[in-house]
């Protein structure tokens, strides 16, 4: 999973999204965090970005609700760490799965030091994908407002993958899911189709006007600061 998240392949159906996330994460953390900064990945899953983050000289700890993470998120949504334990909180494709936004954002804010930074990505437009639940899709203004209302000041929002490319990727995802069920050659055919449709999606994203992408993105990346108490 780590290799695919950091270096997605053209025959992966989510290639365009994952390459955008990986490059944005490395650029943003490299620009806004110094060596030795303490980062908590809140909802880390199998921690696919750990290596890339540690290579930046950032101290990484992953927190999740399941065993296997460095830190366990308890039933109350809290991590067993003191207030202000982190210089940064990372939240990659987690917010759409969070039922209680107030509790999640409050914990992110509690973990951050006085000048802490939240790096967050979540879906603007995408298919329903429970993991184990799926609750939200966001407009740019709605996501910014949700964070601003919960103790953060949004400093920057980036749109990753515009609407033309998103519709192509959604069709590819559906086609590939069916084709892979074919015996023997299903996987190869699905991979070849992904190469063709990913190339088309990349071209579509290149010609999409910036203002259309900014307000109709597949994924939004946000950099926000903790509001001083």
Cβ neighbour number for residue 70 with a 10 Å cutoff = 15
Q: Domain 2-162+210-226 carries which CATH code?
A: 3.40.50.150
Question: What pLDDT was estimated at residue 157?
Answer: 98
Segments of the chain scoring below 50 in pLDDT: none
Smallest CA-to-CA distance from 13 within 204, 197, 221, 184 is with 197
* Rounded distance between C-alpha atoms, residue 68 and residue 41, angstroms: 13
Q: What is the pTM of this model?
A: 0.95
Question: What pLDDT was estimated at residue 3?
Answer: 78
pLDDT per position as a tens digit, 64-81: 998 899 999 999 999 999
Question: What pLDDT was estimated at residue 1?
Answer: 65
Give the mean pLDDT of the chain. 96
| Domain edges within the chain | 2-162+210-226
Question: What pLDDT was estimated at residue 12?
Answer: 96
Task: Say whether the peptide bond before residue 40 is cis (omega within 30 degrees of 0).
Answer: no
Q: List for the chain the helix, strand, coil content (%; round to 5).
A: 40, 25, 35
């Amino acid at each position: 999973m780590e290799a695919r998240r950091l270096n997605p392949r053209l025959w992966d159906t989510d290639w365009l999204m994952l390459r955008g996330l990986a490059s944005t994460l490395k650029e943003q953390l490299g620009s806004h965090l110094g060596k030795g900064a303490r980062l908590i990945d809140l909802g880390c899953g199998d921690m696919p970005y750990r290596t890339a983050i540690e290579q930046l000289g950032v101290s990484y700890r992953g927190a999740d609700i399941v065993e296997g993470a460095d830190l366990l998120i308890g039933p109350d949504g809290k991590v067993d760490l003191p207030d202000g334990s982190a210089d940064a909180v990372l939240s990659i494709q987690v917010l759409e799965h969070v039922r209680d936004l107030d509790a999640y954002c409050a914990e992110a804010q509690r973990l951050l030091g006085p000048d802490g930074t939240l790096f967050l990505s979540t879906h603007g437009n995408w298919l329903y994908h429970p993991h184990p639940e799926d609750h939200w899709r966001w407009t740019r203004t709605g996501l910014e407002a949700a964070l601003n209302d919960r103790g953060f000041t949004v400093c920057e929002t980036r749109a990753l993958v515009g609407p033309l490319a998103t519709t192509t990727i959604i069709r590819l995802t559906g086609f590939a899911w069916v084709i892979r069920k074919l015996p023997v050659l299903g996987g190869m055919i699905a991979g070849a189709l992904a190469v063709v449709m990913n190339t088309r999606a990349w071209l579509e994203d290149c010609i999409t006007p910036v203002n259309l992408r900014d307000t109709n993105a597949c994924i939004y990346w946000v950099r926000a600061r903790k509001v001083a108490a």
